[in-house]
Amino acid sequence: MTCAALIVAAGRGLRAGGGVPKQWRPLGGATVAEHTLRAFAAHPGIDRLVMVLHPDDIAAEVWPSDPPADIATGGATRAESVRAGLELLDGAVDRVLIHDVARPVVSAPVIDAVLTALEHHDGAAPGLPVTDALWTGTETAITGTHPRDGLYRAQTPQGFRLQAILAAHRSQNGDAADDVEIALAAGLDVVLVPGDEDNLKITGPGDFARAERILRRQAVDIRTGNGFDVHRFGPGDHVILCGVRIPHDRGLQGHSDADVGMHTVTDAIYGALAEGDIGQHFPPSDPQWKGAASDIFLSHACALARNHGYALSHADVTLICEDPKIGPHAADMREKMAGIMGIEAERMSVKATTSERLGFTGRGEGIAALATVTLIRS
């Protein structure tokens, strides 16, 4: 299934101040529109970006070129603008997420929730339950109250199967508050998914300061993962540690090639991502992994980290054994591991220690390993 993000940016938005439409105002080192586009461009579930712009903005060529987006010309109403974007996408993707450009701090979990719901429903939209008491009144007086049960604050992106929402827009007469209103009028099945308090819509001048605070908080996401693994000695004439073959009078036993160092770093990456361990991704009960080279596992973990938007900043592995001696091979191990992970060798640490002849490693019964990795998403 393919999916496009349709960013609605054809409004004039001058209430926020600044003398220009709010989507072109600076926010934390970029424009509001750039932040919004980047949020979707960075998400692995989004295949294409479309911006719907006011004709004046198209003529002035004010939109950002990075990340790249297709451009549609907006209409006199929001509904007309959205339809223009949908018509541009007709036949190009299966699903579409329609998002207000003035929500520049939308998070990946909100996008995830909408995409997941679209696997089983025509549409999905994030919302937050109304928790404050509601009053009716005038500008100067409270005239009554209103029950808040069953009321939600609508957010975007609002996601739909493309052909369903396009047909709904084509049959719509007049404007609507949002695309959920149009979808419901057409009888589409739209489900509610959890929204996010940080997913604010910039409306007034004070919203810029709040959005900047959220962006600073979201700017860097650092995760640390730990790994530990053990393999016993058995018959053999070599061991493989951190991808390097070392002659030895015994081999390490395991379902794969028993590379205890590489297994430990792999598990540390899975741990940092909260994605389980090697056994969950490559079950030892599956015969296809018998004798498999462990770089398959490490490459998978690194690819998973990249798909989640993380870069591997550093990895440190300690091999615990009496024999074989690790020092003469440590540099080769660093190069091998770094190459698989796509990082510089200076970011990969391989070191060894003994257990002072204590325990199973001290008795020469096997090798243990500890690893720590750092992932950064910015």
CA distances from 121 to 26, 164, 187, 233 (A): 37, 11, 12, 53
Strands (E) in 195-337, as ranges, are 221-234, 238-241, 244-247, 251-252, 311-320
CA–CA dist 48, 263 (Å, integer) = 36
- Do 3-218 and 221-377 have matching folds? no
Q: Beta 190-194 vs 123-129: how paired, if at all? A: parallel
Closest to 76 (Cα-Cα) out of 160, 166, 12, 25: 12
Q: In the predicted model, is pLDDT for residue 182 greater than 90?
A: yes
Distance of CA 321 to the CA centre of its chain: 38
- What percent of the chain is predicted at pLDDT more than 70? 98
Domain ranges of the chain: 3-218, 221-377
- Mean pLDDT (the chain) is 94
Q: Let me know: does 238 contact 251? Beta carbons within 8 Å.
A: yes
CA–CA dist 158, 180 (Å, integer) = 7
CA–CA dist 364, 225 (Å, integer) = 28
The structure's pTM equals: 0.63
The DSSP bridge partners found for residue 241 are 244
CA–CA dist 121, 118 (Å, integer) = 5
Q: Which residues lie below 8 Å from residue 81, measured CB to CB, with a gap of 6+?
A: 8, 10, 52, 72, 74, 75
Widest Cα–Cα separation across the chain: 89
- What pLDDT does 309 receive? 84
The pLDDT tens digits for 268-317 are: 999 999 999 999 999 988 989 998 999 999 999 999 999 888 999 999 99
Rg of the Cα atoms in the chain = 27
Q: Which CATH number fits domain 221-377: 3.40.50.2000, 3.60.10.10, 3.40.605.10, 3.30.1330.50?
A: 3.30.1330.50
Q: What is the mean pLDDT of residues 22-51?
A: 94
More confident of the two residues 66 and 40: 40
Q: What is the mean pLDDT of residues 327-336?
A: 96
Q: In the predicted model, is pLDDT for residue 261 greater than 70?
A: yes
Q: In the predicted model, is pLDDT for residue 3 greater than 70?
A: yes
Task: Tell me the pLDDT band of 378, cut-offs 50, 70 and 90.
Answer: low
CA–CA dist 304, 18 (Å, integer) = 42
The pLDDT tens digits for 101-151 are: 999 999 999 999 999 999 999 999 999 999 999 999 999 999 999 999 999
More confident of the two residues 15 and 71: 71
Domain 3-218 has CATH 3.90.550.10: yes
CA–CA dist 96, 280 (Å, integer) = 32
- What pLDDT does 57 receive? 92
